[in-house]
Amino acid sequence: MDHENVAASLAELGNSHRLSVFRFLVKAGHEGASVGDIQRELGIPASTLSHHLARMAKVGLIRQEKHSRTIICIPEYEHLEQLIGFLREECCAGVAG
């Protein structure tokens, strides 16, 4: 994960609504949750939520699987791990050096 990718991903998590969505999805686990589930849980208008989900998917924070009419959103744990890995390296570089 390079610099620009990290910045883009952090920017996506750096929005209150999107952070809420991501937290909800992580709680939901590997099976994820449908857009409708998220909408009912967080009370975000559908078009607004759709906008946020599209952004999150674009940078790889979540993936979306379509099952007939329903779209399931699943958090990309690996992506977050890499993000945390990057931050940890940044964080410890000064302490170690």
Partner DNA sequence: TATAAAATTCGATAATTCTAGAATTATAGT
Partner DNA sequence: ACTATAATTCTAGAATTATCGAATTTTATA
- Cross-strand bridge partners of residue 67: 70
Interface with a second copy in residues 2-31 (CB under 8 A): 3-4, 6-16, 19-20, 22-23, 25-30
34 forms part of the interface with DNA (CB under 7 A)? yes
For a second copy, the closer of residues 27 and 40 by Cβ is 27
| DSSP codes of every residue in 45-94 | -HHHHHHHHHHHHHHTSEEEEEETTEEEEEE-HHHHHHHHHHHHHHHHHH
For a second copy, the closer of residues 14 and 69 by Cβ is 14
As a whole number of angstroms, the distance between CA 72 and CA 3 comes to 29
Q: Which stretch binds DNA (CB under 7 A): 22-30, 32-40, 74-82, 83-91?
A: 32-40
CB of 70 to a second copy, least distance (A): 20
